[in-house]
Each structure stands twice: as C-alpha cells, then as structure tokens.
Amino acid sequence: MPNTKPRKQPCSICRTWFLPDERQKGRQKTCNAECRKERHRRQCQRWNRKNKSYFKDIYLNQKLERSTQPPPMQPPPSAIEKKAIPPPGSRLNLHLPYDVIVNEIGKRHLITLEYLIKQVVQHPRRNTAAFP
Ligand SMILES: [Zn+2]
C-alpha cells in the first residue's frame, strides 16, 4: 500500500485550500467544523427535497395506527357528550358532523381525508402552481 501524503484541496463550501487530515484518506470535503456543518445542512436539504413524501408517509401511518388503538382513558358513559368530536389527534376542527361521517366512511378514511385537506390548505401556492 503506497504511503501517500495528503495533498491540499479546495473546501467544497468556502473554496479555500486546506490540508486534509491524514486519517481521512480522501474523504474530507471541508476545511473546518463550520463548513462541515454547512455541508451537512445542504446535504439534508437536498435529501429532504428528493424524499418529500418520506416523513409524510410516517406521519400518516402513525396517525392511522393511533386511530386503531383504544384511547388511553375513557370517560364514564354518563359523561360522554352527544356533540360531534373530531377524530383523535386531529388539529382541524371544521365543525363537521364527525359522528355521522365516521359512521358513514369510517375513522381511518376520515383521518386520511383530513390529512389530504390539511395538505391542500397549508400549501395552496405549491398545489396550484400547475394552474396559474
Ligand atoms: Zn471551508
């Protein structure tokens, strides 16, 4: 194995020339910790753009999983109100007849529908970009 000395190379962030650590053996891309953090931030940003649906899948799957589990504490039957209650974990309260909707389409479909509505409402510009 040839014992080659590390050669100076430009930092991938600030473009200044630096001498990489011998132990890195050609893997070091940045000159210091600050540039390393910036490179990591850019790599994460690129990964998140490329894998937009990754965390959305996890979020929706966890929400649907939670809907099948029983709630942690049930109030006594006499204390249950007859008014419509949004599905568990819901952040939207659209004042809809949730009990009727749940009876008609089921809790899992309601959660999925609510998730889709939230995506459209929260990102109106991104979702209508194809229709200027
Ligand atoms: Zn640098």
- Compute the distance from residue 20 Cα to the ligand 1 centre, in Å: 11
Q: Tell how far the Cα of 24 is from the centroid of ligand 1, in angstroms.
A: 16
CB atoms within 10 A of CB 111: 20
Gap from CA of 29 to ligand 1 centroid (Å): 8
Q: What is the pLDDT of residue 20?
A: 94
List pLDDT tens digits, range 4-42.
778 999 999 999 999 999 998 889 999 999 999 999 999
Please give the distance, rounded to the nearest whole angstrom, from the Cα atom of residue 4 to the centre of ligand 1: 23
* The pTM of the whole model exceeds 0.75: no
